[in-house]
Structure 1
Amino acid sequence: MTTPDTQRPRRGSDILRVALRRNVGAMLAGTVLMGLYQAGETAFPIALGLIVEHTMRDRSPGGLALSIAALAVITTTVSLSWRFGMRVLQKANTTEAHRWRVAVADRGLQPVAHDLDLKSGEVLTIATEDADQTADIIEVVPLLISSLVAVLVSAVALGLADIRLGLLVIVGTALILTVLSVMSKRIGSSTREQQARVARAGAKVADLITGLRPLHGFGGNHAAFRSYRAVSTEAKQQAVTVARVNGVYAGTALALNAVLAAAVTLTAGWLAFAGRIGIGELVMAVGLAQFIMEPLRLFSEMPKYVMMARASAERMALVLGAPPATVPGQRPPAPGGDLAVDHVRYGALRGLDFRVASGEFVAIAVYQPRAAADLAAVLGSKVAPGAYEGAVRLGGQPLADLALDAVRAHLLVNPYEAEIFAGTLRTNIDPSGTSRTVAEAVEASLLTDVVALHREGLDHGVRDRGANLSGGQRQRLSLARALAADSEILVLHDPTTAVDAVTEQLIARNLARLRRGRTTVVITSSPALLDAADRVLVVDDGVVTAEDTHRNLLAGDEDYCLAVTR
């Protein structure tokens, strides 16, 4: 989501202002309808008091029938205004929560500055729970106003009967809100801490699930489980603290509201006993004293919900307000251009310099795994151009001058550990549903045996993270997705480490055939892929130390021979 309203709000208050401004119409309609509902609720005991007063004085059947009709109108108004008012507000609430979920998810998928210490599990919690709680402000404000309307109408009606009753309601409401506003600040700080701890627990369990297989492999699963249990226990203890604070708040609010209602009732009884008000006014006062507890309850709960919405908005601002890792240019790369890495220094790269011509198939044998990962990160735009020395150029144009979306469409870097998503084989290979080379990609990656194993073929279901696939099947599925994208320049990082030697040989031949005429770079130590390439670049200690065909390097470079032969 890239509308101006949601472009990098710096603070939680910015997010709340955007949410309120974007839903002014719905909130106005909801406020009118909910105010009508509260006014109708308030009118009911007032009408009862008037009916009692007139019935005792006039004793007219026609007047009684008219009074019953008036009560029916009030009841119908209360019912319909509540129904349609809540429909309007909840629709706006749900829509606004969806907008912020999309905004957080979109921002989470973009590279941001590395000082934002949030893991994927935390971003997920922010995109769900915090987005929902922030959007609650859309309902809170109209309910707050309508509750205020009910309290004011009650105070005016009681004040017309006796000024002391009206003042009692106004002063009592002010005192209740003063006490509860102080308590709501404690709720806000406790809620922020709870949200942070729950998010950390979510991030921990996400990491645990991702690394479950290797953890089992070296026996580290028990230590990992204990680590998660500690984080989860902290989140549970904080949740208990928040529940305790909320319980004290709710209990205090209920007690104070009950005290005010009792005070109004007793004062009205004393005034009736003293002859200051009539029987009808006493009925009205007692009815309003009972009714007023509900708007007072809503009114007194609003500060709590406001603080919770502010706490959630502040957490969303951490993601939405994070500065981007880079500010990309606006130009698209030239079609069919070459790829050049000019004296790049980053991490384990010590001035790396090479050029891949358009249509060439080049393999890069990197002796240090860290350098291979750093090279893939730089080429994949996961590192801002300003974070490394030198430049990466497409068709002679630096990446910093090119539009990021256009670069990613032109230059695809398939990482070593590519994600597999829940869905089907087809949706993993062609997520957009627009590729015309799915069949060729499946054949080239030798995923054909996986497709043939299942009656559904490409529509066979895939579990989250490819849990129902082997390591080799997941790797071939990832390779098929990269090939189906059919990008101008394709960079593969160790695409065959989980497959056997025979399969690897076939994939290498298929890759060279399918990508003929398209620029392809493979970062690998696989002899099959190295042999299939037009030429091989040897990278040692972050620089290119040799360049030739795979077979010539085998014959003349002993270090290369030791590094790549299996």
Structure 2
Amino acid sequence: MPRPVRVGPTPKCWPRFLQELEGEPTPVPSNPKELLKHIFKTSRFTLILSILLAATHFVAMAMLPWAIGGLLDSGLETGLHPSITPWVLTTLGIIALAALSSLNEPVQIGLWLHGTWEPVRWLLRRVSRRRTDVSQKMASGDIVASVTTDGDKLGAIAAFVPDAVGSAVAFVVVAILMLQVSVPLGLFVLIGMPLLLFGISRIIKPLQQRIAIQREEQGNLTSLASDAVVGLRVLRGVGGEDVYNEKYIAQSTVVQEAGIRAAKYRALLNAIQTAGPALFTAIVVGGGLYFTFTGMMSPGQLFSFYGYTVFLSMPIGAISQTIQMGTRAWVGAKKIGHVIAAEPLVTDDDVVVPSENPRDWGGTALVDAESGVRIEPHKITALVAASPLETTAIGVRLTRVDDANQTFADGVDLRSYPVDEVREHIVLSGSVAELFTGSLRSGVLGPNAPEVAPRSVYEQVRDIQQPGGEGRALFEKEVVEGVSAEDQHLMAALAAADAGDVVTSVDGGLDGQIAERGRSLSGGQRQRVALARVLAADPDVAVLIEPTSAVDSHTESRIAGNLAQVRRGKTTVIVTASPLVLDRCDEIVLVAGGREIARGSHRDLLDNPDYYSVVHRGVGEEAK
């Protein structure tokens, strides 16, 4: 039975600093220093408000011992006399001011959220659009950590700076109050506190270095874990769990050791932060007792001095914590900067063929400049090599994944055409079947899937409380009577990929939910859904990398027959060494050393010993 959902009252209009950012993200600098400056600059008005509130709060807390000390002396001198009224009102006023300035907390939350959202939104835009070279420079785990943790560190430093500034102002106020009562004790605090902060600053650099190392190793561990999640079934199938466990334990040990090395400096910093104020308290209180005994201080002033020293732990702690946050933010800013600075692998910089001059992509011959392999139009062509890496590289280059490579379309450099046009007409299905969170329908529709409508806070809270509700409302589709044309098209694509069992195995059919990266499906099911996505798109040119590597021979045979039928007369490139698939292809290109060495049909090439050694699976001469 669904649990009742209770959402507290929310304002109709949130303050601007608490409103979620919408629309296109604002570009942010990739330089770490400029990135941090940008965060502070874009939130400068909120930052100023937060600093004023923080300074008011800390100064009020600093003045409270002074007011209580004055009240104490007045009471000891006159007793419960109306003359103590001004001190009572002053004390109550300071308490009210401190309470009112506590409203700084939602302002700091706004600073934190905006400091996190803005760089992360731009980072996500950079990595989710056109492919960049960031994967060549950073591990996938590092990229994920940049989104999930580093952005939060940037927001944290924006939120903690007001406390640091307010603490510094309060420190000056306390120092003045102390000097007015006792110059020796005041000077002790004024000189000792900077020395304490200097000691803290000396620890920051080695702490920063060790945190950076720990962050790097943590990213490597995350990459190792994410790779295992994707290939868990394959890993179990080949009995590789023990090898993986050994690697994971070894990397976990590296992360642990890096954390221990950083912990030494963290512990020293925390020790100074804790012991410093305690030492000051002992010295100041001891000196204050002596001065009170000798008549140089009143009991109220002694109480105030004690209150000052206790209060000083607040600004020291705030400043120390801000320094630590700053260290982590600097490391995070450098990581985020690396991702933002990544260059796209494909651009429209070299476009010379206007898109209004349409090309018949279905009738275009493609030539890979590096290997010289030519793909004839209207044919199903297979690329075969002893090393699948060679043919995979050729297939990928034909789709213009990286502008560093050159491919020709009827003699015209593919880089001369807009990237969007190339992507529309030439579709690549890679060796790894990539699926995303959502419905089976959206997984097969791919880029043609409808946009997801945003949900209200009430809907999100309600859905999270229900089993499986986190995704259901996000991707649910209005139920219509009968079978739509879209459903017929998708079911035909799934049938051609021999993926009809996926529809029946997913609760909800086409509108059933698939877990992140397709983890709820088997490896073969993921591969067939990815193939169905290409067939549903029906591109002029389809490049399929090992489309049947994760299925059994019976399924492979059915898929090969379906592909030959569905893609008949359409330019199709298949990277495979499977005889079942090769026998259905119009033309085979045999590659060795990165160059074409033979071309013909499957049966013709079986007489070629190089070809036969690649595709032979122990069936003997009968295979001929």
TM-score, length-scaled by structure 1: 0.85
Distance 2:328 2:605 in 1: 69
Distance 1:444 1:52 in 2: 89
Give 1:191 shift. Answer: 0.9
Q: Which residue, 319, 325, 330 being the options, matches 1:305?
A: 325
- Correspondence for 2:498: 446
- Correspondence for 1:539: 590
Change (3 A) 1:196 1:367: closer
Distance 1:554 1:17 in 2: 66
- 2:153 is aligned with 1:133: yes
Post-superposition CA distance 1:193-243 (Å, at most 9, x none): 111121222222333344444444444432332122111111112212222
Q: Which residue, 428, 436, 455 being the options, matches 2:443?
A: 428
Change (3 A) 1:440 1:68: farther
> Partner letter of residue 539 of structure 1?
L
SS in 2 for 1:490: strand
- Correspondence for 1:6: 28
Count of matched residue positions in the alignment of Structure 1 and Structure 2:
548
Post-superposition CA distance 1:363-421 (Å, at most 9, x none): 22323322221112213434x333x4xx3135765233344455334422001222233
Aligned-residue Cα RMSD (Å) equals 3.3
> Partner letter of residue 28 of structure 2?
T
Distance 2:122 2:430 in 1: 25
| 8 Å CA contact retained: 1:116, 1:322 | no
| 8 Å CA contact retained: 2:277, 2:309 | no
- Correspondence for 1:492: 544
Give 1:34 shift. Answer: 1.2
- How do 1:255-294 residues align onto structure 2 when only pairs under 5 Å count? 255-294=275-314
| 8 Å CA contact retained: 1:354, 1:544 | no
Distance 1:404 1:58 in 2: 87
Change (3 A) 1:561 1:204: closer
| 8 Å CA contact retained: 2:284, 2:309 | yes
Post-superposition CA distance 1:139-173 (Å, at most 9, x none): 23211101101111111222233333433322121
SS in 2 for 1:538: strand
| 8 Å CA contact retained: 1:176, 1:300 | no
| 8 Å CA contact retained: 1:411, 1:490 | yes
Q: Which residue, 51, 64, 67 being the options, matches 1:47?
A: 67
Distance 1:134 1:306 in 2: 8
Distance 2:146 2:267 in 1: 25
Q: Which residue, 365, 375, 381 being the options, matches 2:383?
A: 365
Distance 2:55 2:421 in 1: 52
> Partner letter of residue 184 of structure 2?
R
| 8 Å CA contact retained: 2:51, 2:163 | yes
> Partner letter of residue 490 of structure 1?
A
- 2:424 is aligned with 1:392: no
Distance 1:237 1:370 in 2: 37
Give 1:353 shift. Answer: 3.5
SS in 2 for 1:430: helix
Distance 1:67 1:438 in 2: 80
Judge which range, 64-73 or 364-373, deviates more: 64-73
- 2:522 is aligned with 1:470: yes
Where does the alignment leave 5 or more consecutive residues of structure 2 unmatched?
1-22, 452-485, 617-622
| 8 Å CA contact retained: 2:407, 2:414 | yes
Distance 1:556 1:168 in 2: 92
Q: Which residue, 143, 148, 170 being the options, matches 2:190?
A: 170
- 2:122 is aligned with 1:98: no
Identity %, equivalent residues: 25
SS in 1 for 2:542: strand
> Partner letter of residue 590 of structure 2?
V
SS in 1 for 2:369: strand
Change (3 A) 1:336 1:63: farther
| 8 Å CA contact retained: 1:137, 1:309 | yes
> Partner letter of residue 76 of structure 1?
A
Distance 1:385 1:208 in 2: 31
SS in 1 for 2:372: strand
Give 1:298 shift. Answer: 1.6
Distance 1:270 1:50 in 2: 20
Distance 2:226 2:437 in 1: 15
SS in 2 for 1:385: coil
| 8 Å CA contact retained: 1:261, 1:293 | no
| 8 Å CA contact retained: 2:589, 2:598 | yes
Change (3 A) 1:376 1:165: same
Distance 1:148 1:340 in 2: 71
> Partner letter of residue 383 of structure 2?
A
Judge which range, 517-526 or 185-194, deviates more: 517-526
| 8 Å CA contact retained: 2:379, 2:587 | no
SS in 1 for 2:498: coil
Change (3 A) 1:63 1:399: farther
Change (3 A) 1:449 1:213: closer
| 8 Å CA contact retained: 1:144, 1:302 | yes
Post-superposition CA distance 1:437-490 (Å, at most 9, x none): 433322332322221244421233434443443332221111122233344432
SS in 2 for 1:365: strand
Distance 1:460 1:3 in 2: 32
Q: Which residue, 375, 379, 383 being the options, matches 2:398?
A: 379
Distance 2:395 2:252 in 1: 35
SS in 1 for 2:495: helix
- How do 1:215-254 residues align onto structure 2 when only pairs under 5 Å count? 215-254=235-274
| 8 Å CA contact retained: 1:424, 1:460 | yes
> Partner letter of residue 195 of structure 1?
R
Distance 2:136 2:175 in 1: 51
Judge which range, 452-461 or 252-261, deviates more: 452-461
> Partner letter of residue 544 of structure 2?
L
Distance 1:117 1:77 in 2: 52
Change (3 A) 1:199 1:555: closer
Distance 2:345 2:37 in 1: 26
> Partner letter of residue 412 of structure 1?
V
- Correspondence for 1:31: 51
| 8 Å CA contact retained: 1:16, 1:137 | no
SS in 2 for 1:177: helix
Give 1:182 shift. Answer: 0.3
> Partner letter of residue 532 of structure 2?
A
- Correspondence for 2:512: 460
Change (3 A) 1:515 1:24: farther
SS in 1 for 2:427: strand
Change (3 A) 1:503 1:106: same
Where does the alignment leave 5 or more consecutive residues of structure 1 unmatched?
346-350
| 8 Å CA contact retained: 1:155, 1:165 | no
